[in-house]
């Protein structure tokens, strides 16, 4: 997926991806190309899931 993203113009674009796309390399590629991302996190990714829950609870306070 990162190779595919390298061929696209992402400046100002929101890229969304399911669990397969939830990888550091993919997020970094999007950032490097001045895009924004929305990555899905599932329960089978415990560290990422816990971090997402923690950050969400911080936003609520």
Q: Where exactly are the structural domains of the chain?
A: 2-60
Whole-angstrom Cα distance, residue 9 to residue 61?
36
pTM for this structure? 0.71
Q: Mind listing the pLDDT tens digit for each residue in 4-61?
A: 898 999 999 999 988 777 788 999 999 999 999 998 887 888 888 898 889 888 887 6
Query: Would you state the structure tokens that stand for residue 37, as one six-digit string?
Result: 């991302």
Predicted local distance difference test score (pLDDT) of residue 21: 77
- Label residue 14 left, alpha or beta by phi (over 0 means left) and psi (-120 to 50 means alpha): beta
Residues 51, 27: Cα–Cα separation, whole Å? 16
């Amino acid at each position: 997926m990162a190779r595919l993203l390298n061929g696209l113009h992402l400046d100002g674009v929101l890229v969304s991806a399911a669990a397969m796309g939830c990888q550091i390399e993919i997020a970094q590629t999007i950032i490097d190309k001045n895009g924004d991302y929305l990555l899905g996190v599932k329960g089978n990714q415990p560290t990422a899931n816990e971090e997402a829950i923690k950050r969400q609870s911080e936003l609520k306070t």
